[in-house]
Amino acid sequence: MYLMSSYQNYSGASHTYDKTRAPVGIEVIRQVLADGPVSLQHQVVVDGGCGTGLYTAALAPAVGQIEAVDINPEMLAQARSKIASAGYRGRVLFHQAPIDLLPLRDESADAVMVNQVLHHLPDNAAAGWPNHARVLREFARVLKPGGTVIINSCGQEQLERGFWFYHLIPEAVQRMKEKVINLEALNDLLWQSGFVRVHRQVPYSIVLQGEAYFHAEGILDPAWRSGDSIWSLVSESDLEPILERISNLKSTGDLGTLVQQADCSRSRVGQITFTIARKTTD
């Protein structure tokens, strides 16, 4: 089986992705890894769905080796060139592969991190998220006993209240909520897949798109929109009036007020959640 995103075209987005994305929350990941059973500089870390390599590049100087895996060749090409120009080539191995079939040996990794990827898995919530379960079992297979898994995803409430522009696209948010596994179900699947000590961290101040998130007229730019896969779920006919409204607010000077009002619940819920667990040693 080949579990590929059915809605976001990452080949198209690969050249613009880094304009609105950064390895946000990397300090949480670094700390969680540092608390693991093996010292940080000796750890082998899998970056599942590494994309353009933002997290790989941020972590490479601190760890022993990174296995950077992505299904999309264009995203991987961006990651390769980023790592080469940063001079970390010796520490990173790249693999074009799906995260449910990692080309890695059993019990060969100290940690797996997966940042903003799971919502791309085609899956069936009514059937209990079988493809998510398959991916988590694959992570358990490649991890050493006691190894760490860190999943960076958005909770349902974060999708509802954590992003100012989601107010403009309620139907796409609904569609996205159906694709995003809720955090309780993720917890249960982790337990069922051989993980223990499951817990969460919410970095409330972190904004997924960095400074670009506050640049409201960015919505008018397809490159800006390609930084959040939710825009792939907005139909052309729904997009048109939104762009018109943003253009009007821009010309009247009211865009800032819109952002301020629509963004007020973000600080209470945050945008992303890290779900952290260790593979059982039994």
Ligand X SMILES: C[S@@+](CC[C@H](N)C(=O)[O-])C[C@H]1O[C@@H](n2cnc3c(N)ncnc32)[C@H](O)[C@@H]1O
**Contact residues: ligand X, CB under 6 A:** 3-5, 10, 21, 49-51, 54-55, 70-72, 75, 98-99, 115-117, 120-121, 229
The distance of closest approach from Cβ of residue 94 to ligand X in the complex, given in angstroms and rounded to an integer, is: 12
Q: What are phi and psi of 223, to 5 degrees?
A: -65, -40
Q: Considering beta carbons, is residue 8 or 43 the nearer one to ligand X? A: 8
Please give the Cα distance from 115 to 225 (Å, whole number).
19
Query: 236, 110, 216: which is closest to 163 by C-alpha?
Result: 216
The distance of closest approach from Cβ of residue 101 to ligand X in the complex, given in angstroms and rounded to an integer, is: 9
Q: Considering beta carbons, is residue 70 or 263 the nearer one to ligand X? A: 70
The distance of closest approach from Cβ of residue 127 to ligand X in the complex, given in angstroms and rounded to an integer, is: 18
Please give the Cα distance from 177 to 180 (Å, whole number).
5
- 47-57: string of b/e by CB count within 10 Å (b at 16+)? bbbbbbbbbbb
Q: Considering beta carbons, is residue 57 or 258 the nearer one to ligand X? A: 57
Q: How many residues does the chain have?
A: 282
The distance of closest approach from Cβ of residue 244 to ligand X in the complex, given in angstroms and rounded to an integer, is: 28
Q: Considering beta carbons, is residue 26 or 168 the nearer one to ligand X? A: 26
Q: Considering beta carbons, is residue 258 or 273 the nearer one to ligand X? A: 273
Q: Which residues pair with 149 in a beta bridge?
A: 112, 277
What residue has token string 């898995």?
Answer: 121
Q: Considering beta carbons, is residue 72 or 246 the nearer one to ligand X? A: 72
- Its sign, for the CA torsion 59, 131, 137, 151, is positive
Q: Residue 73 carries which side chain, given as an amino acid letter?
A: P
3-state DSSP assignment of residue 147: strand
Angle at 170 between CA 185 and CA 271, to 5 degrees: 50
Q: Considering beta carbons, is residue 71 or 169 the nearer one to ligand X? A: 71
Token pair of 72, please?
A: 């999309």
The distance of closest approach from Cβ of residue 139 to ligand X in the complex, given in angstroms and rounded to an integer, is: 12
The distance of closest approach from Cβ of residue 100 to ligand X in the complex, given in angstroms and rounded to an integer, is: 6
Angle at 193 between CA 190 and CA 199, to 5 degrees: 20
Angle at 237 between CA 234 and CA 238, to 5 degrees: 45
Q: Considering beta carbons, is residue 84 or 264 the nearer one to ligand X? A: 84
Cα-to-chain-centroid distance, residue 66: 17
The distance of closest approach from Cβ of residue 35 to ligand X in the complex, given in angstroms and rounded to an integer, is: 22
State which residue has the least CB distance to ligand X. Answer: 51
The distance of closest approach from Cβ of residue 134 to ligand X in the complex, given in angstroms and rounded to an integer, is: 10
